[in-house]
Structure 1
Amino acid sequence: MENNLMQMEEEIVKALRTVYDPEIPVNIYDLGLVYDVDVNHKTGHVVVTMTLTSPNCPVVDFLITDAQMRVESVKGVKSAEIKLTFEPEWHRDMMTDEAKLELGLL
């Protein structure tokens, strides 16, 4: 059971890595926008807590809808909820090294 949960979480992360902010050529996971992925293995419900690079992000609806659809496409996921938070506030240090390299920050 534990192995299945880990595999599902890995697949969810892979799915989140296919969601891109149209204004930034890096996926939301590597940008550090995803704070938490909570999987209820019994119900198949997933809650993703994430933020935005800016509270005034013009593509917020697109990102949330895209993330939800991608997570719900993962085998074993019955439903997904995307929770938006601005605590803690996002900053560049949250990005992976790959994202920083892609954006010329390393």
Structure 2
Amino acid sequence: TAFPLLMSLFELARNPEVQQALRQESLGAEARISEDPQRATTELPLLRAALKETLRLYPVGVFLERQVSSDLVLQNYHVPAGTLVKVLLYSLGRNPAMTKTLF
């Protein structure tokens, strides 16, 4: 969609060193990819990582819903089996305990 593309460009503008590294990677892989476009994902690992990082920081979805399969205690709260819980993707993507950042 347009939003992840916009945010990718925003982050690249904020991080010129990453932008330059992506440019070098794409120039180096240009000939190999033009012969076989299916190789793009393996030939451009930094681009793939940058796109995944953008989607982590600026998710298209708002939340995920899951139903608890068995009783559990979550941060001193009892959550009974069958309860529908939501995970906010924006907060999850910014939790340092969950992931490392590229930008």
Q: For this structure pair, what is the TM-score category when the shorter chain's length is used for normalisation? A: under 0.3
Bigger Rg, which one = 2
Q: What TM-score do the two structures reach when normalised by structure 2?
A: 0.26
Higher relative contact order, chain-length normalized (CA < 8 Å, sep 6+): 1
- Compute the TM-score of the two structures, normalised by the length of structure 1: 0.25
Looking at secondary structure, tell me which structure has more helix per residue: 2
